[in-house]
Amino acid sequence: MITRSKSRSRFVPLFYIIFLMLPIYWLLNMSFKTTNEILGGFSLYPHQFTLDSYRKILTDPTWYMGYVNSLTYVLINTVLSVSVALPAAYAFSRYRFLGDKHLFFWLLSNRMAPPAVFVLPFFQLYSAVGLFDTPWAVAFSHTLFNVPLAVWILEGFMGGVPKALDETAFVDGYSFPHFFFRIFIPTIAAGIGVACFFCFMFSWVELLLAKNLTSVAAKPIAAVMTKTASASGYELGLLAAAGSLTLIPGAIVIYFVRNYIAKGFALGRV
């Protein structure tokens, strides 16, 4: 009895994964169809297989520059967020100081701020400092929620490193910078990887701020897509192909952190 119910329960993750893959399959399916076939009616797989949509995206600069722009601000944001979060996370995990708990919650509260609240003020702020329509504006605005997250994750991972490591190093006469960069950072490399992964993820998936802080020069792929969807009727094939291509960066970064992904999602705290 027990073994039978156990073997049956094994199918639960399988069904779940099938459920997850269906919309992705449907997107890929649409991206390989010709417009005529899409409008012609329902079909489970492309009968007239074509790569036209992909060819258009990869040869038209308004399309492929969208990917370049998106990846640019995502990378700037990731580097920026993690490098300022590292020393702060160390301070929170090792020391008590005036107002530490309040500061920590205040940081976290920014992760709770709805981007919709910040759209207009950010637009005005970054226009005022001359960063509007540059990848920097988007990268900075995304630090609003990524820096708190990076601090939170890194603090969790650092909490797992025994304090004895720091104390031994200082007794051995290492200076703080030497200890921090040469010993401590390599020790929590996995945590840094996970923090980078999350910064990448939340910056990559965000649209509202990215769209409203750019107009032409730094327009992200997501904004190019929404404009196409509304402007030129309904080019579903093209939209599906553009969507399918946005899956690739995500799939690559997941592959890199696959062994730490579960612990990372628990913010380093299990």
Q: Which of residues 22-51 bind other proteins (CB under 8 A)?
A: 22-24, 26-27, 30, 38, 41-42, 44
Smallest distance, Å, CB 201 to other proteins?
Answer: 6
The one-letter amino acid code at 129 reads V
| Residues of span 238-257 touching other proteins by CB under 8 A | 239-240, 243, 246-247, 249-251, 253-255
Residue located via tokens 């997941």: 254
Cβ proximity to other proteins: between 52 and 260 the closer is: 260
Query: 45, 170, 181, 265: which one contacts other proteins (CB under 8 A)?
Result: 265
Smallest distance, Å, CB 66 to other proteins?
Answer: 11
Identify which of 20, 46, 15 has the alpha carbon closest to the alpha carbon of residue 240.
46
212 contacts other proteins (rule: CB under 8 A):
yes
Cβ proximity to other proteins: between 189 and 254 the closer is: 254
Identify which of 56, 20, 46, 12 has the alpha carbon closest to the alpha carbon of residue 224.
56
Structural tokens at position 192: 């840094």
Structural tokens at position 16: 């779940």
Is 224 exposed, middle or buried, given 0-12, 13-18 or 19+ CB atoms closer than 10 A?
buried
Contact region with other proteins (CB under 8 A), list: 53-61, 130-138, 185-193, 259-267: 259-267
| Residues of span 72-131 touching other proteins by CB under 8 A | 84-85, 87-88, 90-92, 94-98, 100, 103, 105-122, 124-125
62 contacts other proteins (rule: CB under 8 A):
no
2 contacts other proteins (rule: CB under 8 A):
yes
Show Cβ contacts of residue 246 under 8 Å, excluding neighbours closer than 6 positions: 67, 221, 222
Q: How far is CA 245 from CA 20, 64, 73, in A?
A: 17, 10, 18
| Residues of span 145-204 touching other proteins by CB under 8 A | 147-148, 151, 163, 201, 204
Contact in structure between 73 and 203 (CB atoms under 8 Å): yes
221 contacts other proteins (rule: CB under 8 A):
yes
Q: How far is CA 219 from CA 65, 107, 134, 182, in A?
A: 8, 29, 9, 39
Query: 199, 225, 238, 241: which one contacts other proteins (CB under 8 A)?
Result: 225
Contact region with other proteins (CB under 8 A), list: 51-59, 130-138, 186-194, 207-215: 207-215
Contact in structure between 225 and 243 (CB atoms under 8 Å): yes
CA distance 132 to 214: 6
Smallest distance, Å, CB 247 to other proteins?
Answer: 6
Query: 73, 140, 157, 179: which one contacts other proteins (CB under 8 A)?
Result: 140
136 contacts other proteins (rule: CB under 8 A):
no
Contact in structure between 200 and 149 (CB atoms under 8 Å): no
Cβ proximity to other proteins: between 12 and 216 the closer is: 12
CA distance 68 to 204: 12
Residue located via tokens 């890199």: 256
Smallest distance, Å, CB 202 to other proteins?
Answer: 10
